[in-house]
Structure 1
């Protein structure tokens, strides 16, 4: 049996350079166990004091959060898991379960000192440990990026959908309006207005288009519309209430209608009023398309600013307020959804600070995103900055649920998270800490229920 196991181990790439006598010693210090499908080898909370070499079969590592399981990794013949020599693992956070019947070589940590006497053997375990750390970190970093991208995409899709839908609606209405123009124009031509009358009507139209419309309360607006509609009905104009709504919206009053009446015969009023309404409706639709287009353009500009597109990855002057506002634009959907008020107070006279802009944007994004998540509804976020003792200090304050005192020292640890599956990998604040450290800065947190403050401190020199 031992010969069969030794030959099997020698066939695994990581042990191909290990002398046979060392492999035999490894087998002697271990025991062979066989597990059946769905059998649990390790569960959360179990002490990690054994190394597992999978000889045959398949097992998986899965994490449980709430009622959900997510597969972290799968192992096949030749893979090592559990506690390897020099590993600092103490207890399990995940389940190790069997997929199909599996044969495993198990070595207790008490045997590690004897294994350490065999150089090539221990070297293979160290390489496996390094590969495991690299693989797991890369996998989690990728998951964090995908989660961030998913959030970003969802927010952008929502923010883009509103103005895009508005553009489609306005363009469709404008098209229908333009189709009716020839008939309305024909009606105007049949009036055979003089040049002076046309100029007078155009003057009224352009004066109203260029005038500042007074702000009216709902009651004042309704009263004005009633007055205009009564006047129009009294002068034989059909669809008076529809016309009155448009005319009131553009600052007309009864005196303005009298001025139009004075331009010519009263018989001219119905087609002239229809023409004026048509001009204003067309202008309104064009303004809606323009406004929606500008909102899309502003959002694209915010994304470009946030991602630092077309810019070299080198230290540059940081326009703090501009960068913060571009990040908030991207998070706008989440902010509106929770009815969060955000206040940004950045002094104009802050000393110049240089940094890697695209990386710092990830810091703002993580801290603001976490702040929004921590707020249940109708909360408040404040971002402020000051120059103090040769440092730039930036404060992110929210009135959310707060961070429990017993985990405040752990939140910057890699893979630590309080979020559910699919909501976080525990690398967000680890990334933040690394980026801040890269800028020779520090990050600290003070938290209690109803108030959390993250303080970033960057040297200005």
Structure 2
């Protein structure tokens, strides 16, 4: 082919065609990603002002937040999803639970300084749903753990944290008659949200 007088043109055409295919794939991937982000934003911005619990899928809510955090995750955070896909939708306040997932994912990313592994476990245990977020950050000192759910308590530098994130998380979990637990050692911190299984009546 290289000896063929037209060989250089053939190779150049093949190279351009390969680049065109790559560009097309990139455009399609970008369009799909944009569509997911738009959908996630619409879902996140939805406000159920009725004050009543509504049917929601916990896993879909978490994935919505992960989509919104895609740019912060893609360059240094490996996300491991351990989902029980057989989970039924439950009655809850989905917008408020999305605030819980947002806070816990955001805190995990910050704790790892955007480099590490974030593991999310969602499973049913008896009549409860357990949702765990485990990050590979430096951990929370034992003397700090009892204070982290107190309003205005923060270990972040001035101007970087209000100290209300985990306080709000706990209030939302309490509203669902659930519990939130934390375990931490250097290199592994796990926040676990336990929610009662309130199944939608057929």
1:352 aligned partner: 89
Contact 1:391 1:457 in 2 (8 A): yes
Distance 1:452 1:386 in 2: 18
Instruction: Describe how 1:47-446 pairs up with structure 2 within 5 A.
Output: 230=2, 234-236=4-6, 239-247=9-17, 249=18, 281=20, 288-308=26-46, 314-337=52-75, 339-376=76-113, 378-446=115-183
Task: Give the alignment's TM-score, normalised by structure 2.
Answer: 0.86
C-alpha change, 1:432 and 1:351, in structure 2 (3 Å) is same
Equivalences, count: 198
Distance in 1 between the 2:70 and 2:171 partners? 26
The structure showing larger relative contact order (alpha-carbon pairs under 8 Å, at least 6 residues apart) is 2
Q: CA RMSD in A?
A: 2.4
Q: TM-score, normalised by structure 1?
A: 0.40
C-alpha deviations, 1:95-146, integer Å up to 9, x for none? xxxxxxxxxxxxxxxxxxxxxxxxxxxxxxxxxxxxxxxxxxxxxxxxxxxx
CA–CA separation in structure 1 for the residues paired with 2:22 and 2:130: 46
Greater percentage in helix: 1
> Structure 2: where are the runs of 5+ without partners?
none
Q: In the alignment, is the contact (CA less than 8 A) between 2:58 and 2:89 conserved in 1?
A: no
Structure 1 residues 349 and 238 mapped into 2: Cα distance closer, same or farther (>3 Å)?
A: closer
1:333-370 deviation digits (Å, cap 9, x = unpaired)? 22124x11011111122243211111100000000100
Shift of 1:374: 0.7
Q: Distance in 1 between matches of 2:22 and 2:193?
A: 47
Q: 1:244 to 1:349 in 2, by over 3 A?
A: closer
| SS of structure 1 residue aligned to 2:147 | coil
Q: Given the superposition, is the C-alpha separation of residues 446 and 360 from structure 1 closer, same or farther in structure 2, using an over 3 Å criterion?
A: same
